[in-house]
Structure 1
């Protein structure tokens, strides 16, 4: 099976324009690894980002950035963000995860820890 040589990179973004740096960093990594890039945003079910002009503009901008580096942007709705990210990672045979550092270090640690425990063997890169 050739899937071991395939490098798939998942970029976890929020609906903030500043996530552009994560997509670009992951794109550089993808170029080094000759890997495929997957950009994902998970919105909680009660979040209605389409009614929020600022957030929908940011997602549209991030969609354009994703396309410019050859990646698709997936927006999924779920109340269990970690489980959704883990399932997406497994379905797409993700080998690397790129995520931003949370302003609240405890949140970042929890998400990072939960992903690390749920995805053994997947390299997780936290970008400040």
Structure 2
């Protein structure tokens, strides 16, 4: 079987961990690495710092040999599902969302992805809590 790893990222520093996890997985199963960011809506960037962080994340993923993809959509789960099917992805690496609405077994988003994409391994990384050092 030909494996392919997809890492779903957002514009936040924690995405670097997701890319590293996806890279390690792709190396362990000898699979190409794909990195996907889906921007909700049609506006590419709400904040000026967003473009710089996304550029840094894409550069990091590219340095690791990943193929970087950027899409805009109002339906994130459906767009991820379509991308997975169109590219024959076998492994998906995603993270918990910052608001606690985790994409994990039992959550509606996780179940929606799992039911629509069938036999795929989904790795969910818990969100890393960065403590305030100034306190």
Shared fold (TM-score, shorter chain, > 0.5) = yes
Asked if structure 2 preserves the Cα contact closer than 8 Å seen for 1:17 and 1:61, the reply is no
Moved over 6 A (4+): none
1:34 corresponds, among 17, 30, 33, to 30
Identify the residue that residue 125 of structure 2 maps to in structure 1.
Answer: 127
Structure 1, gaps ≥5 residues long: none
- 2-structure distance, mates of 1:48, 1:32: 34
Asked if structure 2 preserves the Cα contact closer than 8 Å seen for 1:9 and 1:37, the reply is yes
Deviation at 1:73, TM superposition (A): 1.5
Alignment CA distance shift 1:16-1:106 (3 Å): closer
- 2-structure distance, mates of 1:59, 1:106: 22
State the number of aligned residues: 123
Q: Write out per-residue CA displacement over residues 84-106 of structure 1, whole angstroms, 9 at most, x where no aligned residue.
A: 10010011100000000123343
TM-score under structure 1 length normalisation: 0.89
2:56 corresponds, among 58, 61, 68, to 61
Deviation at 1:28, TM superposition (A): 0.3
- 1-structure distance, mates of 2:26, 2:42: 33
Root mean square deviation of aligned Cα = 1.4
- 2-structure distance, mates of 1:65, 1:13: 12
Structure with bigger helix share is: 1
TM-score under structure 2 length normalisation: 0.85
Deviation at 1:44, TM superposition (A): 1.5
1:16 aligns with 2:18: no
1:116 aligns with 2:114: yes
- 1-structure distance, mates of 2:58, 2:44: 17
Identify the residue that residue 89 of structure 1 maps to in structure 2.
Answer: 84
